[in-house]
Amino acid sequence: IAHRLSISSGTYRPLQSQVMDPHADFLTDKYDDLDLSEWDEEKLNATKLYMQKFQNKVDFSMKSERKLKDKSDRATTDHALDRRSRAILFKMMNQEIFTEINGCISTGKEANVYHVLDKNNSDLAVKVYMTSIMPFKSRDKYVRGDFRMRHGYSKATSWKLVSKWAEKEYRNLIRIKQSGLIPCPTPLRLKGVVLLMTLVGKDGIPAPKLKDACDDPELDQETPPDWPALYAQVVNDVRTLYQKCRLIHADLSEYNLLYLNGKAWMIDVSQAVEHESPQALEYLRTDCYNVNTFFRKQGVPTLTLREFFEWVVNPSLPSPDDPSSRVYLSSLLANAEARGIDETVTMEDDAFRFVHIPRNLSAVYPFVRDFLRIQQGKLNPDQIYYAAVSGMKPDLSGAQSENTPQSRIQEEASDTGDSENSEQSSEYSQPPPNKKSNSARPRGESPESRKLRKKIVKEHQAEKRKTKIPKHVKRRHSKK
């Protein structure tokens, strides 16, 4: 009977009390075949005892129906704003992180960017990633080898996948901003798939992409882009990103560079990979190739693809924040301007783009063979592509010395001190005396010689104790 009872929408009584009530009218209304009036008191008491015995084992609570999901829950606006994304935006507005949301200023294959204002009327940008409609599906190759994703990430739902992708861009932007050498937007806050950052632009107008910098009417009042200077800046930024930030953009082109105040601003670093990625060097060569291709269209004499690549990866060159690094880059650009661009350079770039380059010497199996062939003159050092990546000399005779200020000071000090060292070479050529030579026990030592040796050791230790500084004096000086 308990399983067949139902609760009316009127006055609610617990189901257990309804069963225990012998005068319940709803039983006679719905179950005419049961005549409870003929039951005697003993049967009712037996029924009551039976129900009391099992009342703790029967679940009389009302269970909600199974929640049904509809495609309306995944409906989006502008391909990015779904129900959860809008809830995050409204929550940020209630917290006064920003007070006003304006229109969309940029769309891409993975996210939309909206213009917002904070309570101080400062221009900010909100990047909302797509969760339901995701044209960008090949994300695994950009995550493989990333130490921050070494434990994997959930692919159960698109929301979890995209939220990890947003977190990856947030971390990359923080790492680039901390270098202080690359112009990029400042990340402010991340919540789910919503990333808040500063706006790259003026007076609420976003900066144009580098591909539109020469044709943008908003730039009439500004000076036209200085393409050679911009190329030098981008080349140096790629090396800074590799050497200081330990990242490779993996999608660098004129579409992911903004032009503002005469500088190129780097954006869209969600797919940036670390050095440990299996395809890191392939992504780097693609970035260098895209940069060279665009600036050659603007009439800039660019470096060859190999020169660009080796300039970025060579660890023996000056650090990006060293002034001598700019001097070295200026000499490379001067040689490129004197050489010019011809079909031979273009063919060499196309060939170098698809050459296999090991990331380190542990991946180079024929190293000894290559070294011997170079020494015998059977192999040209220009055919060795892994020398710059591994920091070796072009002829594989040894490691290149780091061209840093500390190394240069050490070299100068060593050069000036060569004469002094040569005069004192005879003095330091003798090995230092062994302090423990007297304490060693010779094999087959007689008792008399042992006593004599112990006596000499005690006298030596007594002489040392005469000039020993007490411990309390040492502690007193160390505290000062």
What is the identity of the amino acid at 40? D
Of 148-152, 332-336, 406-410, the least confident:
406-410
- Residue 392 has what DSSP assignment? B
Catalytic residue, from 82, 123, 268, 349: name it.
268
What are the structural domain ranges in the chain? Answer: 2-54, 76-353, 361-401, 449-474
Q: Could you give the CA distance from residue 455 to residue 461 in angstroms, rounded to a whole number?
A: 10
Active site residue 35: no
CATH ID of 76-353, from 3.30.2020.30, 3.30.230.10, 3.40.50.2020, 1.10.510.10: 1.10.510.10
Structure confidence by residue, pLDDT tens digits, 88-117: 999 999 999 999 999 899 988 889 999 999
Active site residue 251: yes
Q: Residue 126 has what pLDDT?
A: 96
Q: How confident is the model at residue 64 (pLDDT cuts 50, 70, 90)?
A: low
- Residue 185 has what DSSP assignment? P
Task: Note the residue count of the chain.
Answer: 480
- Calculate mean pLDDT across residues 439-458: 79
Would you say 127 is a known binding-site residue?
A: yes
Contact criterion met (CB below 8 Å) for 241 and 268: no
Q: Residue 128 has what pLDDT?
A: 94
Would you say 70 is a known binding-site residue?
A: no
What is the CA angle 106-108-111, rounded to 5?
Answer: 85
Of 321-335, 345-359, 429-443, 454-468, the least confident:
429-443
Catalytic residue, from 118, 146, 212, 251: name it.
251
Q: Give the DSSP letter string of 314-380.
A: -TTSPPTTSHHHHHHHHHHHHHHHHH---HHHHHHHHHHHT----SSGGG-TTHHHHHHHHHTTSS-
Q: Residue 76 has what pLDDT?
A: 76
Q: Give the DSSP letter string of 9-62.
A: SSS---HHHHHH-TT-HHHHHH-TT--GGG--HHHHHHHHHHHHHHTTTS--SP
Sheet strand arrangement including 100-107? 100-107, 111-117, 123-129, 194-198, 187-191
The rounded radius of gyration (Å) of the Cα atoms in the chain is 39
Structure confidence by residue, pLDDT tens digits, 163-218: 888 999 999 999 999 999 999 999 999 999 999 999 999 988 999 999 988 766 55
Q: Could you give the CA distance from residue 26 to residue 99 in angstroms, rounded to a whole number?
A: 58
